[in-house]
Amino acid sequence: MRLTGTVHIIGAGLSGLSAAVHLAEAGRRVVVYESAGHAGGRCRSFYDEHLDRSIDNGNHLILSGNQSAERYLRITGGTGGFFQPDAAEYPFIDLKTGERWTVRPDRGAIPWSLLFRRNRIPGSRIIDYLRGMRLSRAAQNATVKDCLGDSGILYDRFWEPLAVSVLNTPADEASAALLWPVVRETFGRGEAACRPLMARKGLSDALVDPALSYIERHGGDLKLNERVTGLKTDQSIVRAISTQSDEIAVDTGEAIVVALPAPAAGSLLPGLTVPNAFEPIVNAHFLLPEPIHSIRFLGLVGGICHWLFVRGDVASITVSAARDLAPLPADEIAGRMWPEVLAALRLGDVELGRYRIIKEKRATFSQTPEQMERRSGPGTGFENVLIAGDWTDIGLPATIEGSIRSGETIAAKILESA
């Protein structure tokens, strides 16, 4: 079917917004339906009354080598919402030993600087880095630990933290084949592709609000608090979208993009194969005694916390694959994290102040080899319906880059069909 008319997009997370932005850029009219009262899905900012600060729902790191994110930001005008340093540097601390080091990727794809011990992660050997190439030929059923578990201290201080943060799955279960595309597109392209992009004000200000403005300027509609409850079909065509308040006819040539989390997409499209195992993320935001400008982010190993981000007087912690942490009460989580925050920021003995704990119980699907087989392609069995989402089979993990690329890919397919 030639899809030449309006495109109805169900879901205003980053996948849905990405599809809408790329379609609007091409001159197509889009209508976006979102059940919540805000767009952005898990990637958003909000004002927290307890902290009296604007915080992000979760902490996300975009790299300069994320090509789909770069195109999305360039189209929407959101590039200015991020700060990009002049060089890629990743400071780390081992919370057990107190050792600190900084990972600095080489300018080229070949890391010649690793020939010198001073440029390696403390305790690592040159051969440990060479073992990283195993990811490029990892079997589909291999885990990260299967491939790199014998890399000595480099596994503990680099590969495992990287895998857990990217795949949100324990490294002894996470798909090695899924980690490789991330390494190839960033570290594999040298320092210029590895620079971290940090949101100046918040994720909504950089990733969501500019997209909404762009869609509106190009004639699109955003319908918040509009839950889609069903699709009315006629053989292989969807003829209408049912919402909690209306029924919208879908004319011939119009397309539908289902850009929902896996469980919701599976409910809306019975028979669709979707991942059915998920992993939590715990984010914590601590109010500091005073602003800190010398540190923007810090990798943490040897403790509970994985990444620490600082924006002014708020320190934000992310713990990925937080199966053991997520069930605990918020006060216990904060009590366990705070000593690590103090050690990482060298704050000494400071009493725990105001904080906010945010648990995302189904942050991403469990990115194991078994669950990888449940990722769906863009088709649905209906000629005018496609699916987008970080859980779909896009060749990337469930990250911001994966979400945006999914929407970009679906938009391209719709435009090609015309």
3-state secondary structure 2-38: CCCCCEEEECCCHHHHHHHHHHHHCCCCEEEECCCCC
What tens-digit pLDDT sequence spans the chain (418 residues)? 899 999 999 999 999 999 999 999 999 999 999 999 999 999 999 999 999 999 999 888 899 999 999 999 999 999 999 999 999 999 999 999 999 999 999 998 888 898 898 899 999 999 999 999 999 999 999 999 999 999 999 999 999 999 999 999 999 999 999 999 999 999 899 999 999 999 999 999 999 999 999 999 999 999 999 999 999 999 999 999 999 999 999 999 999 999 999 999 999 999 999 999 999 999 999 999 999 988 899 999 999 999 999 999 999 999 999 999 999 999 999 999 999 999 999 999 999 999 999 999 999 999 999 999 999 999 999 999 999 999 999 999 999 999 999 999 999 999 999 8
**Measured between alpha carbons, how far apart are the two ends of the chain, in Å?**
9
Question: Is 30 in the same domain as 140?
Answer: no
Report yes or no on 82 lying in a domain: no
Question: Is 150 in the same domain as 188?
Answer: yes
CB burial of 332-361 (b: ≥16 within 10 Å; e: otherwise) equals ebbebbbebbbbbbeeeeeeeeebbbbbbe
Query: Which of 170, 192, 214 is the last residue in one of the domains?
Result: 192
Report yes or no on 89 lying in a domain: no
Question: Is 393 in the same domain as 244?
Answer: yes
CATH of the domain at 219: 3.50.50.60
Question: Is 272 in the same domain as 372?
Answer: yes
Q: Where are the alpha helices (DSSP H) in 131-252?
A: 144-148, 153-154, 160-167, 176-185, 203, 209-217
Query: Which of 148, 163, 192 is the last residue in one of the domains?
Result: 192
pLDDT of the residue at 324: 96
Report yes or no on 297 lying in a domain: yes
Report yes or no on 30 lying in a domain: yes
Decide: 324 and 170 in contact? Cβ < 8 Å.
Answer: no
Question: Is 159 in the same domain as 218?
Answer: no
Decide: 108 and 117 in contact? Cβ < 8 Å.
Answer: no
pLDDT of the residue at 207: 97
Decide: 168 and 282 in contact? Cβ < 8 Å.
Answer: no
Decide: 379 and 272 in contact? Cβ < 8 Å.
Answer: no
Question: Is 177 in the same domain as 218?
Answer: no
pLDDT of the residue at 143: 98
CA 44 from centroid of its chain's CA atoms: 12
287 phi and psi angles, rounded to 5 deg: -80, 125
Question: Is 38 in the same domain as 160?
Answer: no
Report yes or no on 1 lying in a domain: no
Of 30, 362, 90, 51, the closest CA to residue 211 belongs to 30
Q: Which domain holds residue 252?
A: 7-46+202-276+368-417
Question: Measured between alpha carbons, how far is 89 from 112 in angstroms, rounded to an integer?
Answer: 16
Question: Is 211 in the same domain as 145?
Answer: no
Report yes or no on 333 lying in a domain: yes
Secondary structure of residue 177 in the 3-state scheme = helix
CATH of the domain at 349: 3.90.660.10
Q: Where are the alpha helices (DSSP H) in 196-299?
A: 203, 209-217, 262-268
Secondary structure of residue 100 in the 3-state scheme = strand
| Residue 360 zone, left/alpha/beta (φ > 0; ψ -120 to 50; rest) | beta
Q: How many domains are contained in the chain? A: 3
Helix (H), strand (E) at residue 333: helix 330-345
What DSSP line would sit under 354-412, residue for residue? Answer: -EEEEEEEEEEE--SHHHHTT---SB-SSTTEEE--TTSSSSS-SSHHHHHHHHHHHHH
CA angle 388, 391, 397 (to 5 degrees): 115
Question: Is 380 in the same domain as 270?
Answer: yes
Question: Is 267 in the same domain as 373?
Answer: yes
Report yes or no on 66 lying in a domain: no
Question: Is 246 in the same domain as 379?
Answer: yes
Query: Which of 139, 166, 192 is the last residue in one of the domains?
Result: 192
Strands 100-103 vs 307-311: parallel, antiparallel or unpaired: unpaired
Question: Measured between alpha carbons, how far is 162 from 180 in angstroms, rounded to an integer?
Answer: 11
357 phi and psi angles, rounded to 5 deg: -105, 130
Report yes or no on 76 lying in a domain: no
Question: Is 230 in the same domain as 160?
Answer: no
Decide: 166 and 399 in contact? Cβ < 8 Å.
Answer: yes
